[in-house]
Amino acid sequence: MKIKSQKLKAKSQKKSHIHSYINSRRSCVVWKYDWTSSSLKIFSLLLIIFLLFLSCEKQSPISEEKFIKVYVDLLILQDTTGTNSSAFDSLKTLVFKNHGISAEEYDATINYYNSEPKRWEGFFDKAIAYAEKLKNEAKE
């Protein structure tokens, strides 16, 4: 009889343990669902903000027309000063001042073009055309 009562007691303990486990799992499932729905809203909002951020194309700090002129002027300057870097650096600041830009803006524009190398292709075509225009004007 004692063995039977121990078996019944063990069975009831298992049953109550499973029952409490099932109840605790239900509360976990409900909690996870609530957490997931609020997280889903937050995630959706962050995703929309991120996509809007990516869709806005970064703009060059210096307009392309001005950058072409500055770039060609610096190439001509570099060609005429040769290997004298101190003369080039001092004249470079004069070119920036003449065009109304700063060295930081110039560097940021270089980084903008370097971030997507295909931009350089169109830029170089326009820069060559501008340099040829300057050359033809100098001949006249």
Q: What integer pLDDT is reported at residue 46 of this predicted model?
A: 72
* Domains of the chain by residue range: 1-56, 64-135
φ, ψ of residue 4 to 5 degrees: the values are -65, -40
Mean pLDDT of successive 10-residue stretches along the chain, which has 140 residues: 57 50 51 58 70 61 91 90 80 92 92 90 93 88
Tell me what pLDDT residue 16 has: 47
> What is the model's pLDDT at position 42?
74
Phi, psi angles (nearest 5°) of residue 82: 70, -130
pLDDT of residue 67: 93
| C-alpha closest to that of 95 among 104, 103, 84 | 103
Residues 61, 103 contacting (CB under 8 angstroms): no
Q: What is the DSSP letter of 100?
A: T
* Per-residue model confidence (pLDDT) at position 88: 83
Q: What distances in angstroms separate CA 1 from CA 4, 5, 8, 15, 128, one per listed residue? A: 5, 6, 11, 21, 105
Helix (H, G, I), strand (E, B) or coil at 38: helix
Q: What is the maximal distance between C-alpha atoms in the chain? A: 123
